[in-house]
Chains A and B, each alone.
Chain A
């Protein structure tokens, strides 16, 4: 019993016979594949969605299965900003700065109704959707979304990343605030609001 020392020559011959030691692939596919499998999330948890995020990260749902082994609590080491919860105006400059501090390539997930549209908090203190502050790649509906919902959003994000092109320079351009001090003009916010089915009385722009 015990370990038998490998027959170096024989195993090399066998491996060479079965598969070559090289392969061809498009560089985009390789890079995108490695990026999708090593997304480090930066959790920006402000409310009850953060509890669901914790459940997603814990052993039962196990976010690590999708390459998110490490939670990056420093924006400098993060790839995905997950805004889990409502965002008050007081926190708007904070999330904007965190987003600016994250190095490219970076993506963001807006988790839950409040982060996506303001949700039930149609009031003086709440940002009506974080896409008025930072760019958003995937929106997760729900109040709060179940862990499966967040996992599905991550799978969608991986799918989106797989479709990216390395030569497309537009993807990696930092989206900064406009000359008017706003990230999105009110007209554009109205335009992207439509598929959300916000209440007709709830305005995200004006």
Chain B
């Protein structure tokens, strides 16, 4: 049985970016290509803009943390070229010992905005250049960490009663931004850092 053919994009990527393409693999007919994090934005921009690639649709941005502690955390970009009807999965390995940071692709695909916020919320990956990086599923004052990390206990870090107490102490309006609320009554009750972000015009930055 012959090994399944990878997507022609892999060869094109290797020819153009050389060492920045770490390895590739075909799994269930899908081509997965691992690239270096420091050049990820450049590579993804090229995949979007090169006429031969034309991956104009970003299906999903997510992350994977493996059970084995020595394996790195992986960022996953699922790309689709609508006109060519072709798919490509791009992965970036992030060393868990270092700060988890990667370039945002919001400027390439606007749809990445909420997807990256979800990855930040669940895994704690910070996206450089994201226009509004804050939690999206958990509330802004959530203090227990990043729920989908492997070192996060299933029931959370705090006890049930502490979780209930914090939840009941919360002001439901403070879960949302002023834009989402459309009324500014609770402005003085929202967290300090959120208020500061809103004053800057709803645009956060990664330090």
Contacts and interface: CB of A to CB of B under 8 A. Distances in A.
Secondary structure dominating the interface of A: loop
Nearest to A183: B168
A124 B144 contact: yes
Chain B interface: which size bin? 20 to 34
A206 to B, nearest CB: 5
Interface of B: 138-139, 144, 147, 152-156, 159-161, 163-172, 175
5 contacts: A89-B164, A89-B166, A90-B167, A182-B164, A203-B160
Contacts of B138: 90, 125
B168 A96 contact: yes
B201 to A, nearest CB: 26
Contacts of B168: 92-93, 96, 133, 177, 181-183
A180 interface: yes
Contacts of B161: 182, 185-186, 189, 205-206
Interface residues of A, number: 27
Contacts of A127: 164, 167
A181 B169 contact: yes
A96 B172 CA distance: 10
A179 to B, nearest CB: 11
Given A92-B167, A177-B168, A181-B165, A128 B175 contact: no
